Structure formats: C-alpha cells, structure tokens
Amino acid sequence: MANDVLSEILGSVLGNAGAGGAGAPGGLGGLGGLGNLGGGLGGVLGSVFGGNNDAQQGNAPSSSGIGGGALLAMLLPMAMQWVQNNGGLGAVLQKFQQKGYSQQASSWVSPDANQPVDAQAVHDVVGSEELSRMSQQLGVSKDQVAGGLAQILPHVVNHLTPGGEVTNDSNDMLSSGLASVEDFLKRQGG
C-alpha cells in the first residue's frame, strides 16, 4: 500500500516536472512497468538514480549535474523525513497555515486540484537552516531544494490524504513509505 502511494507521488511529481509543472498525475506513462518494488517504485527510483530519467522527461541537467527529475526523486525521502520530524502531516499543514498558506495547504488535502506554492513559501515554512542542510547533502543550491520541495510537498500531502482529511493512517503510510524508500536507497548504495 505505502509503495503504491509512493509510486503515485513520484509519478505525479516527475510527470509534472517533465511538463513544466502542468502535467497530469502519472505523467511517466505507466509506473507499474518500470520495476517490481511496490507498483513500480523500484523502477522509478532506479531510472531516476540511474540517470536516464532526465532524458526520458526532456529535463535539462541542473548546474550541479543533477537533472530536475533526479533532484525531485532525491528530495522525496528528505521531504518525507522533514514531515515526520516536524510532527507529521497535520503539524506540517498547520505550519503552512500559520505562515499564511492556508488556502494552498487545504487544497492539498481536499480532492480538488492542488494549489501550488512557490520556493519562497517553502523558505518561510521549512526555514533556511533546514534548506541549507538538504542543499549541502545533495550538492545543489538552497533555491533548487526549495523549488523542488514546492513541487513535492503538495503531492505528498495529497496522496497521503485520499479521503480528504489527515488521519492516523496518513502518518502510518508516510512512515511505511519512508522506510521503503530508505531500504531501497540502502540496497542501491551497497
């Protein structure tokens, strides 16, 4: 279940990245055929970390050498960890609301279309120190991290709240999904 949700998140995020942010969910064209870890999670991550996703998506590599799709895939577990470390989905949504992004945060939970946030919103909510830590870990700029998180977070929240509300199951899916991603990354790293 958690791996299916992660596949949906990656498909949604990476599909949107390949279409300049305007793509439909599942824009990779059938995640299920890309691998065999939880509905395609392994194949999606494998293709992204293997470096061939950017060519498939038509993304130009960033100045750091990490292409848009690869950066988003590498940010996904960091985004999930950040949500967990900050009290879970409900607490993170409250952070966005307290910083003036109530409408956007509510749209991510609702079954309606997600309202976007920009990199400045992520700076406001996540904070410079955390963005610096992530940027150093990835070897990219804080602005690239903030922009990537601005793309990822709405999808993460949306896919973890399929019933239109934050429940204990939402945080359980987050924990389970994060464990799956971390396990996959450990196996890929040797």
Contact between residue 154 and residue 131 where contact means Cβ atoms under 8 Å apart: no
Mean pLDDT of the chain: 74
What would the pLDDT profile of 105-129 be if each residue is shown by its tens digit? 999 999 889 999 999 999 999 999 9
For residue 121, the domain's CATH number is 1.10.10.690
Q: Which residue spans within 52-134 are E strands per DSSP?
A: none
Total tally of structural domains belonging to the chain: 1
Split at pLDDT 50, 70, 90, the class of 6 is low
How far apart are alpha carbons 158 and 138 in whole angstroms?
Answer: 25
How far apart are alpha carbons 189 and 152 in whole angstroms? 23
- pLDDT (0 to 100) of residue 22: 34
Q: What is the extent of the structural domain holding 95?
A: 2-189
Decide: helix, strand or coil at residue 35: coil
Q: How far apart are CA 83 and CA 92, in angstroms?
A: 6
At 68-97, the pLDDT tens digits run 778 888 898 999 999 999 999 999 999 999
Least confident piece of the model among 20-29, 39-48, 148-157: 20-29
Express the helix, strand and coil content of the chain in percent, nearest 5 each.
70, 0, 30
Scored b (16 or more CB within 10 A) or e, 50-65 reads: eeebbeebebeebeee
Contact 178, 80 (CB under 8 A): yes
List Cα–Cα distances, 73 to 79, 97, 98, 182, in angstroms.
Answer: 10, 26, 28, 12
Taking the CA atoms of residue 1, residue 174, residue 33 and residue 138 in that order, the dihedral angle to the nearest 10 degrees is -160
Tell me if 122 sits within 8 A of 82, measured CB to CB: no
Q: Is 116 helix (H, G, I), strand (E, B) or coil?
A: coil
